[in-house]
């Protein structure tokens, strides 16, 4: 006897049509997201990304208008919108959506325009903005599937915006590194390659850069009468700008020092060269310039607002060489005065920038002038050894970390003529 067979009742036509519609909708949604992904990848900048996304979302979901808001620090800015969006701050529900990181909907059941706002996830549990759609054709609200699609678009948009911001940070970081490297190269080209040989003097200069290049400079000038000019300067500011302004200052100093013999005359001429450009850029430079006569036994000097160099006599006396006038570049027509002094064997002149005395230890104490004097007084065979003593004490004081400011130190020792190196 044949076995009885039981079959499932056939699906209704309505169920089949519903299933077909859902399959088509999911296909269209997947196609929309795929195409949107391709198009977003071809634009640069978060505003361009947002503009592309909001226009496509409005078109596909049949909204009357749309907008995208993004956070920038504490601010919430509308970065893209379709036509008809009113000017002004975000609606309260947009602020709430971003703050809570959730979806907000209004189906327009009370006669109001249907609206949906979906947060843009920041990948850390928070929100970096929101995509907002206003109005629907025939006044209907947004269905659950449509809100899910908009959520997928929001996640996609957020990923591209975050990638764009990361790329922008990397670009700015690379640009800053390139700028710092250019500044280091410019600055390095300003400094002496070797210390000069000069009768009656032993000289040693050096520079240690901070992470950010500033405007420290030291150098030597062979003057017309056989004297030796010794200079140290510090331009305000940091980076390539300070390095370029220091290049201008060095050029003016080298040019004027070959003609004028008086330190005051040299400084005055350099100031006139710098005054216009420096004042326009709100820059200035401090400068100490000393002229050692051919036998090295006498020096004349002027100090344009620089940290007072320290003249340590063989007798133990310490003489600060205080400023004789203002910094350079502040005003045309400024005036300085000259001073002169004997410079005997056993005397030491320590010329420095503020990065030396303002270096701090772990408790925020400055290295200071007293520690500098103690380091310079320590027994040493040469100017180079004196400078190394200072640098060792500095490293011990700061723990050997990277300095917060450039450190420039120039040591000049008076020696017997036969000892000059």
Chain region(s) in the chain for CATH 3.30.450.40: 13-169
Q: Which residues of the chain have pLDDT under 50?
A: 23-24, 27, 110-111, 421
Check residue 286 and give its pLDDT. Answer: 93
Which are the contacts of 35, defined by CB distance < 8 A and separation ≥ 6? none
pLDDT of residue 237: 73
Give pLDDT, residue 62: 86
Residues above pLDDT 90, as percent of the chain: 44
Beta-carbon neighbour count of residue 339 at 10 Å?
15
pLDDT for 16 = 55
311: exposed, middle or buried (Cβ count in 10 Å: 0-12, 13-18, 19+): buried
The CA-based angle 418-262-207, given to 5 degrees, is: 60
Q: What is the fold, at CATH topology level, of the domain defined by 13-169?
A: Beta-Lactamase (3.30.450)
What pLDDT was estimated at residue 19? Answer: 52
Element of type H or E holding 218: strand 214-222
Residue 112 is predicted with a pLDDT of 57
- Residue 180: what pLDDT? 73
Residue 69 has a pLDDT of 95
What pLDDT sits at residue 232?
Answer: 94
| Predicted pLDDT of residue 10 | 54
pLDDT value, residue 31: 65
* Residue 2 pLDDT: 54
Positions of CATH 3.60.40.10 in the chain: 191-419
CATH 3.60.40.10 fits 191-419, yes or no: yes
Burial of 357 (0-12, 13-18, 19+ CB in 10 A): middle
């Amino acid at each position: 006897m044949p076995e009885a067979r039981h079959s499932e009742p056939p699906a209704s036509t309505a169920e089949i049509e519903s299933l077909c519609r859902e399959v088509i909708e999911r296909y269209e949604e997947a196609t929309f997201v795929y195409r949107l992904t391709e198009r977003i990848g071809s634009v640069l900048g978060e505003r361009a990304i947002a503009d592309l996304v909001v226009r496509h979302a409005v078109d596909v979901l049949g909204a009357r208008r749309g907008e995208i808001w993004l956070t920038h620090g504490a601010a919430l800015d509308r970065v893209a919108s379709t036509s008809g969006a009113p000017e002004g701050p975000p609606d309260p529900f947009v602020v709430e959506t971003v703050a809570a990181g959730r979806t907000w909907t209004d189906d327009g059941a009370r006669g109001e325009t249907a609206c949906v706002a979906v947060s843009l996830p920041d990948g850390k549990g928070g929100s970096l903005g929101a995509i907002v759609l206003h109005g629907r054709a025939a006044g209907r609200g947004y269905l659950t599937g449509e809100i899910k699609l908009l959520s997928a678009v929001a996640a996609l948009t957020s990923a591209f915006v975050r990638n764009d911001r990361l790329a922008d940070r990397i670009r700015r970081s690379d640009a800053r590194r390139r700028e710092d490297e250019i500044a280091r190269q410019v600055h390095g080209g300003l400094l002496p390659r070797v210390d000069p040989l000069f009768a009656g003097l032993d000289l040693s200069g050096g520079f240690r850069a901070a992470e950010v290049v500033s405007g420290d400079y030291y150098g030597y000038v062979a003057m017309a009468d056989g004297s030796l000019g010794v200079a140290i300067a510090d331009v305000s500011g940091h980076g390539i700008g300070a390095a370029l302004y220091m290049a201008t200052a060095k050029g003016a100093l080298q040019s004027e020092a070959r003609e004028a013999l008086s330190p005051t005359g040299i400084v005055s001429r350099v100031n006139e060269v710098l005054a216009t450009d420096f004042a326009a850029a709100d820059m200035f430079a401090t400068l100490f310039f000393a002229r050692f006569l051919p036998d090295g036994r006498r020096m004349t000097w002027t100090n344009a607002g620089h940290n007072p160099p320290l003249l340590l006599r063989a007798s133990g006396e310490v003489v600060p060489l205080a400023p004789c006038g203002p910094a350079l570049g502040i005003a045309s027509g400024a005036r300085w005065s000259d001073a002169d002094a004997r410079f005997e064997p056993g005397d030491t002149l320590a010329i420095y920038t503020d990065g030396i005395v303002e270096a701090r230890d772990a408790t925020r104490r400055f290295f200071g002038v007293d520690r500098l004097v103690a380091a310079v007084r320590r027994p040493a065979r040469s100017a180079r050894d004196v400078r190394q003593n200072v640098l060792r004490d500095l490293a011990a004081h700061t723990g050997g970390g990277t300095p917060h400011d450039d450190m420039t130190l120039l040591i000049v020792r008076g020696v017997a003529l036969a000892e000059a190196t």
